[in-house]
Amino acid sequence: MRLTKITLCNFRAFFGLHTIEFAHEEGRAVTVFHGENGAGKTTLLNAIHWCLTGSFTPRFQESRMLINKTAAKLGEAETYVELYFSDGNTDYRVRRTSPGSGAGLELYKIQGGNSSIVLQPDRALQKIIPEGLVSWFFFDAEAIGALELSGSKQFKADLRKTLGFELIDRLISDLEACQLKRQRDVSNQTNDRDLKSLQDDIENISRVLPAHTQKSLELEAQIKAARIEFNRIQTRLSELPNTAVVQARRVVVEGKLRARRNDRIAAEGKIASLIGGAAAPIFIQDLAKRFEDKLEIQEVQGRLPSPYSDQLVKDILDSEQCLCGREVRPASDEAARIQGLLKNANTSLLNQRIREVQYLIRDIEKNARSYPTDITSARAGAMAIDKEIGDLEDELVDIKKQIDNSSEKEVRELERARDTTLSQLQSLNTEKGAVDLRIKDGQARMKDLQLRYDRIAGQLNVTQKLRKELDKINRLHKFLVESLKAQEERALRILRIELNAILERYMTKHFTAQINPATYAVSLLDEDHRPVGHSTGEGQILKFAFISTVIALAARKTQEKIEWMAEPTVAPLVLDAPLSALDPEYQGSVAMNLAAQTTQLVLMVSSANWGDKVSVALEPYVGKRYLIVSKSAGARGNKPIKTMEIDDKTYELNTYGAVRDESEFVRLK
């Protein structure tokens, strides 16, 4: 997907019609918009977001008031956004009109200069760029901290959509439905009661599992929203003068409490491990002692191990002479008696086994002797942790009393909202845990039932035609599953390699990125292999690097390329305030990486974040550049004129004495 052109009509700060073009030529596909806070950078981002999805970014304020205020006063009723874009070899024009002023959503396919309307435009746009992925490509980069790389189910699902895996998942799911249908045919044809019962159970689980999975995703989204709200409340409480100190103390205590509760879980695991590991030694200790005594008696008597080896017996028979010098002829009585000694002769293997038994007995005795001390120490440690947890909980109660007793109305309201949100989080987490457990149990039971079904079905008489059909479906299913797994592993490996190459190239310190193949969780480790938080400056860089690398991988722009089983989602990256969350040291390198890795990049940048490093990094890639100038109808008075320098020229970013309050685009390149 590539953006070509956008038209805004009476949309927020932009009065009347404003049309701008995006750079999309290979190698020069970066469009930059310069503007100060309030000029309309976030408005432009949300105009694109809204036009494609009907929704806005989380930080967009007063989203119900879309029509320009001056236009509304003049009686203008129409406000819309019209976006031209291409997907593959097809051009489109989409127009979304605000409620009450037009037709809503219209999508047209443009071919040979002619437009044809696309029926069900929402569904068509969803296929081009799924709504769940819009936040990956169009977002307010100041909120980069909200992007989670922790490996949630939604995160994994979104990444699979981006890389085209979801389409293969659907095909596999369709094949599994065909498998169930053919298995039902087998059950009906054989009329086997056990087979029919197994098939009923398999079908029941197949019907229930998708609903559980969807429920888990919904709960995860609710948990994320509740956590965002909880963090917002926490932040606000830490900003208020009357609660700043006590709230900061509460955050520290809550952090300690979480750590000690995790320690308590680990302590319980250690106690359980000690009990489990010592149960057998304690139970068989006496028996082991008696066995060891018997073994020692046998050794003293020269019976175990035998005082002679099998090699000695063989040497006597081969040399035909006893150790005493007496002749031992083959087939003689002496030879037969010596041959019989092999039955009890000592061997190196027997010696090894005897020593292993003795070592095992020593371990049993050692574990049995150390258990009382170890379990007492572990339980004492758990009790100490319990006391610390109790003290921390009491401290939190005192903190809450201080906040509840505040005379400030906003504080009391925030605290009530905090309690409600915290309770909601706990309830949602409990519910999600139960749903996930049902999913895990269902999957395990499904696997067991399928194995039992295959075993019974393989022993029954089925028509050759039906057996061939089922075999064909099974082989295709196996091929797709194995191929998808191989491509998934390769994609994650390339992502990890590319991520680490970016970190090595641009970071001043040594960091390593890892990707969990099961959850897709992305973690950052320092040179001592210790985890680095995603909220740190380095963590922010990791997020930008991850997004750009995913886009590059999907667009086949990485060094190692993949021939995808299904085409991934390739879309422009549109960022508002992309560099404000970063340390100035890294702004230039991140900007260069974004420009180099993406197929099309649109940046809304303030003068404060447009330094020499950023300018030099982006200049080779910039195809179009605009100013967003804020115009005020009021007199200037003592208010400042904000300016910025671009290519040795000074440009004004705001003016006074205009006909009306509005913003306008000025093309520079």
The domain ranges of the chain are 2-129+571-667, 263-307+346-404
Any idea how long the chain is? 669
Over residues 4-49, the pLDDT tens digits come to: 999 999 998 999 999 999 998 888 999 999 988 888 888 999 999 9
The residue with tokens 């100038």 is 629
Over residues 593-641, the pLDDT tens digits come to: 888 888 899 998 888 778 788 888 888 999 999 999 999 988 888 888 8
Instruction: Please say if the pLDDT value at position 437 is more than 80.
Output: yes
Over residues 158-169, the pLDDT tens digits come to: 888 888 888 888
pLDDT of residue 300: 42
Residue 83 DSSP one-character state: E
CATH superfamily of 2-129+571-667: P-loop containing nucleotide triphosphate hydrolases (3.40.50.300)
pLDDT of residue 281: 55
pLDDT of residue 302: 42
The larger pLDDT score, comparing residue 221 to residue 389, is at 389
On whether the CB atoms of residues 46 and 83 are closer than 8 A, the answer is no
Instruction: Please say if the pLDDT value at position 129 is more than 60.
Output: yes
Instruction: Please say if the pLDDT value at position 130 is more than 80.
Output: no
Structure tokens given for 628: 């967003």
Across residues 95-118, what is the average pLDDT? 83
Confidence band of 92 (pLDDT split at 50, 70, 90): very high
Instruction: Please say if the pLDDT value at position 384 is more than 70.
Output: yes
pLDDT of residue 295: 53
pLDDT of residue 303: 45
Across residues 461-488, what is the average pLDDT? 86
On whether the CB atoms of residues 230 and 425 are closer than 8 A, the answer is yes
pLDDT of residue 311: 66
pLDDT, averaged across the chain: 82
Note the pTM of the prediction, 2 decimals.
0.67
Instruction: Please say if the pLDDT value at position 313 is more than 70.
Output: no
Which DSSP helix (H) or strand (E) runs through 542?
helix 537-554
Cβ neighbours of 663 (radius 10 Å): 24
Confidence band of 301 (pLDDT split at 50, 70, 90): very low
Instruction: Please say if the pLDDT value at position 172 is more than 80.
Output: yes
Q: What's the burial of 550, exposed, middle or buried (CB within 10 Å: 0-12/13-18/19+)?
A: buried
On whether the CB atoms of residues 591 and 579 are closer than 8 A, the answer is yes
Instruction: Please say if the pLDDT value at position 283 is more than 60.
Output: no
**Max Cα-Cα span within the chain:** 131
In 3D space, the residue among 57, 52, 65 whose CA is nearest the CA of residue 12 turns out to be: 65
Over residues 146-158, the pLDDT tens digits come to: 667 777 787 888 8
Backbone dihedral region for residue 102 (phi beyond 0: left; psi -120 to 50: alpha; all else: beta): left
Over residues 512-522, the pLDDT tens digits come to: 889 988 888 88
The larger pLDDT score, comparing residue 476 to residue 364, is at 476
Over residues 482-507, the pLDDT tens digits come to: 888 899 899 899 989 988 888 888 77
The residue with tokens 């007199």 is 635
Which segment of 324-338, 347-361, 429-443, 486-500 scores lowest on mean pLDDT? Answer: 347-361
pLDDT of residue 403: 86
The larger pLDDT score, comparing residue 149 to residue 93, is at 93
Q: Strands of 88-175 (E only): list them.
A: 90-97, 105-111, 114-117, 138-140
On whether the CB atoms of residues 38 and 630 are closer than 8 A, the answer is yes
Q: Radius of gyration over alpha carbons of the chain, in Å? A: 36
Please list the residues that pair with 274 across neighbouring strands: none
On whether the CB atoms of residues 49 and 143 are closer than 8 A, the answer is no
Across residues 528-545, what is the average pLDDT? 77
Across residues 567-582, what is the average pLDDT? 80
The larger pLDDT score, comparing residue 359 to residue 89, is at 89
* % the chain with pLDDT above 70: 87
> At what angle are helices 165-190 and 464-506 packed, to 10 degrees?
160
